[in-house]
């Protein structure tokens, strides 16, 4: 049997604006970073981690932090409770390692 004419589409686009800067890019995982410096009320910043780096031991260690704090049942964007600059330096360091 074929699809009915009134059946819903397989997916629904939530926005028609393809130029949004906060949109996830192919090959990258969005994460919210912040709140790891001990200061309360720190604003979380959205960073994009290349998927090729997800299995790197440093990134795995950072991803274990939210699992320990929030559990594995977290919905939405992964929240990593660490310093934003620390994660940026880690990503930069891993990128340099891969180039060498």
Q: Are strands 28-33 and 78-80 parallel, antiparallel or unpaired?
A: parallel
Residue 93 has pLDDT above 60, yes or no: yes
Judge if pTM exceeds 0.75: no
Instruction: Please state, rounded to an integer, the average pLDDT across all residues of the chain.
Output: 76
Residue 82 has pLDDT above 70, yes or no: yes
pLDDT: which is higher, 4 or 64: 64
**pLDDT of res. 76:** 81
**Ranges of H-type helices in the chain:** 57-70, 84-99
pLDDT: which is higher, 58 or 41: 58
Domain boundaries, the chain: 28-99
**pLDDT of res. 35:** 75
């Amino acid at each position: 049997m074929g699809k009915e004419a009134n059946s819903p589409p397989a997916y629904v686009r939530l926005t028609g604006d393809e130029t949004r800067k906060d949109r996830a890019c192919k090959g990258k995982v969005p994460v919210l970073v912040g709140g790891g410096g001990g200061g309360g009320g720190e604003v979380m910043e959205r960073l994009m981690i290349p998927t090729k780096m997800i299995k790197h031991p440093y990134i795995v260690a950072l991803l274990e932090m939210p699992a320990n704090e929030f559990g594995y049942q977290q919905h939405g964007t992964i929240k990593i409770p660490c310093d934003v600059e620390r994660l940026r330096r880690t990503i930069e360091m891993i990128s340099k390692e891969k180039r060498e």
